[in-house]
Structure 1
């Protein structure tokens, strides 16, 4: 085999290593394309760092007792949050944007006898609608600690807000509900409680009307 043929074969082998099916470049050191999405830090990475990569983390108290942690459930009818222009319904072509909860996590620790301190992590996404979304949107999420039974009893509830930057057709958000304290007597377990999460549109103050309102005479 001539040296010219050997050089051609070596070039072909190198090209095969740098390309995949359909000619897609894979780990090409000469490519100027941005790195694959999975190589960039994401909100999910930060979420995993906070909660150890799992949906539940139960921290251990000073006396070595693991805190029992209730399940997180999305409140029926509060899993999405749609916004439309004033006077319009957030449906079809009138929709500015819609937020959805995609992932939750929680951890618990016993702080004093039967008192439990919980953190609730919530991830979601916001999609721009046909009516157009602003550059940033505010997302209100309510978290409630509820004791289950024949009649559910809300022990504590808080609203958390986060601002989402819209890039392209949407954005993503990640927030953590802190300082949720409730009592869990020794005769009860996490099965007697539930963490409810959901969007709370009432937590967003309505925008002030633009311009002065005409006075009635």
Structure 2
């Protein structure tokens, strides 16, 4: 009983304080991304020339995804919350001068007060951009199971071979998000004001 109560307490704290997404180097997660194992293999001769490899950014409002059983933002009706955790990347220069990017994402699914154990899908979007130009996009859906008497489930996604052309290989950004279509930041867009005549005929509720 103590273990179950402790697990539920952790889940509730995570709902109130979402697991922050961050990029880290030099841990077992990045070792898995780079070497396919938890340990670092013997050192190899260094590659000639450096490869530009920016840290992974999370799109605005893209680090958490919540599902409600009733009114949105009502914590009592929260069914589940998906959050991004650690992020990692690896960049390799190809023979033609382009760069192949590999991105790793850790995340978790937490049950809310109104949630039930079961299978959940975590949508993860990967984007490579240079300024406003979208270079590459990928979308992945990861299944996460939460069993009886459990309050959370973990997932890991590794996306490979996101290629950056040589002309853009020295200035690009790597992004991930749980929201929106690939390549689009999860930001609120301002609606264009309606014409005065249309506003007069539309109720405030319908205009929302």
Pair 1:175-2:154 in alignment: no
Q: State the alpha-carbon separation in 1 of the partners of residues 78 and 119 from structure 2.
A: 15
Flag the structure with more relative contact order, 1 or 2, with Cα contacts below 8 A and sequence separation at least 6.
2
In 2, Cα distance between equivalents of 1:75 and 1:102: 14
- The equivalent residue for 2:174 is 195
Change (3 A) 1:90 1:166: farther
Match of 1:184 in 2: 166
Distance 2:54 2:166 in 1: 11
Q: Distance in 1 between matches of 2:75 and 2:113?
A: 8
Query: What's the C-alpha RMSD, in Å, of the aligned pairs?
Result: 3.1
Name the structure 1 match of 2:52.
68
1:49 partner SS: helix
- Partner SS, residue 112 of structure 1: coil
Return the alpha-carbon distance in structure 2 between the equivalents of residues 144 and 99 of structure 1.
Answer: 19
| TM-score normalised by structure 1 residue count | 0.59
Q: Larger radius of gyration, structure 1 or 2? A: 1
Query: Which of 109, 131, 139 does residue 126 from structure 1 map onto?
Result: 109
Alpha-carbon distance in 2 for matches of 1:107, 1:133:
37
User: For the Cα contact (< 8 Å) 1:145–1:156, is it kept in 2?
Assistant: yes
Equivalent-residue separation in structure 1 for 2:121 and 2:158 (angstroms): 15
**CA shift at 1:194, angstroms?**
1.0
Q: CA deviation at 1:154?
A: 1.5
Q: Secondary structure at the match of 2:94?
A: strand
The aligned counterpart of 2:194 is none
Unaligned runs of 5+ in 1: 1-43, 55-59, 204-217
Q: How many residues are matched?
A: 148
Deviation readout 1:71-100 (Å, 9 max, x if unpaired): 210111111011123x74254112110011
**Which stretches of structure 1, 4 residues or longer, exceed 6 Å deviation after superposition?**
none
- Change in CA separation of 1:201 and 1:75 when aligned onto 2, cut-off 3 Å: closer
Structure 2: gaps (5+ residues): 1-26, 39-43, 183-208
1:91/1:197 CA distance change after superposition, 3 Å: farther
Do 2:33 and 2:89's aligned partners in 1 also have CA atoms closer than 8 Å? no
Check if 1:144 corresponds to 2:115.
no
- C-alpha distance 102-183 of structure 1, shift in aligned 2 (>3 A): same
Contact 1:47/1:174 (<8 A) preserved: no
**1:157 alignment partner in structure 2:** 137
> Superposed, which structure 2 residues align to 1:73-92 within 5 Å?
73-85=57-69, 88-89=71-72, 91-92=74-75
Match of 2:81 in 1: 98
C-alpha separation between the residues in 2 aligned to 1:71 and 1:46? 15
TM-score normalized by the length of structure 2: 0.61
SS of structure 2 residue aligned to 1:185: helix
